[in-house]
Amino acid sequence: MKDLVRILIAPLVWLAAFSAVYGLHGVICGFAVDGTVFGLSLARVLLVTAYVLAILVQVVLLWALYQDRFSSASVFVNFVGRASGWVGVIAAVWTMLPAVLTTYCG
């Protein structure tokens, strides 16, 4: 089962993060969260923070997948696990990029 976890963990965490950021966006719009922090919109700060956190978690996971400590005895499992680790990083950067770029409740 640990080998399956190595393969599935990064995209699973991406899915959780993606859902969480979408949920956060829903809460911000649903409850009309406004106000400012350091002159920046609170909603934007929250969304960008969540975006950056999602990427950081994926980078940490990818780093861990390359460490001997967390590696499998199977070369194949390490390869697929690391490939899906890269999928997690790319998916986090690309799919949540709108948190930085677009209007949030328009």
Partner 1 sequence: MNVVTRHRRLDAIWASERGFRGWFSTVNHTDLGRMFLVTSFFFFIIGGILAMLIRAQLATPDSAFAGPDIYNQIFTMHGTIMMFLFAIPAFEGLAIYLLPKILGTRDLAFPRLTAYGYWCYVFGGSMLLVAMLLGIAPDSGWFMYTPLSNAIYSPGINTDFWLIGITFVEISAIAAAAEICVSILKFRAPGMTLAKMPIFAWYALVTALMILTGFPPLILGSILLEVERAFGFPFFQVELGGDSLLWQHLFWLFGHPEVYIIFLPAAGIVSTVLPVMCRTTLIGYGWIVAAIVALAFLSFGLWVHHMFTTGIPHMGLAFFSAASTLVAVPTAVQLFAWIGTMWKGRPELHLPMLHIMGFFATFVIGGLTGVMVAMVPFNWQVHDTAFITAHLHYVLFGGFVFPVFAGIYYWLPHVSGRKRFFRLGEFAFWLIFVGFHVTFFAMHWVGLLGQRRRIDTYTPEDGWTLINLISSVGSFVLSIGIAMVLLDVILHVLSSRKIRRNPWQAGTLDWAMMTPPPSYNFASLPHVDSRHPLADNPALPVRLAQGHGYLGTPRADWRETLMVDAATGRPEAHVIYPANTRLPILMSAVTGIFFLGLLLKTYWMVPIGMVGVAGLALRWVWMLGRRDDLGAQHVGQGVILPHASATDRSPGWWGSLFLMFANATLFGCLLFGFAFLWTVAPGWPPLVRFEPSFIELGVGVAAALGTALALRVAMAAVRNARATLPALGIALTGAVVFGACCAVMLWRAPPPVDHAYAATLFVLGSYGLFHAVLIVLMTGHLIARVWQGYTSPARRSEFAVVSLWGDYVAVIGSLVLLVGHLSGLSL
Is residue 40 within the footprint of partner 1 (CB under 8 A)? no
Taking the least distance from each CB to partner 1, the nearer of 57 and 96 is: 96
> What is the C-alpha separation between 33 and 39, in angstroms, rounded?
15
Total binding residues for partner 1 by CB under 8 A? 46
Is residue 87 within the footprint of partner 1 (CB under 8 A)? yes
| The one segment of 32-40, 56-64, 82-90 that binds partner 1 by CB under 8 A | 82-90
Relative orientation angle of helices 42-66 and 2-30, to the nearest 10 degrees: 180
Three-state SS for 5? helix
| Interface with partner 1 (CB under 8 A), residue from 4, 37, 56, 60 | 4
| The one segment of 22-30, 34-42, 59-67 that binds partner 1 by CB under 8 A | 22-30
Is residue 65 within the footprint of partner 1 (CB under 8 A)? no
21 exposure class (CB count in 10 Å sphere: 0-12, 13-18, 19+)? buried
Relative orientation angle of helices 75-95 and 42-66, to the nearest 10 degrees: 170
Q: Say which residues have a Cβ less than 8 Å from residue 81's Cβ, sequence separation at least 6.
A: 3, 6, 7, 9, 10, 65, 72
Q: Which residues bind partner 1 (CB under 8 A)?
A: 1-4, 7-8, 11-12, 14-15, 18-19, 21-23, 25-27, 29-31, 47, 72, 74-77, 79-80, 83-84, 87, 90-91, 94-99, 101-106
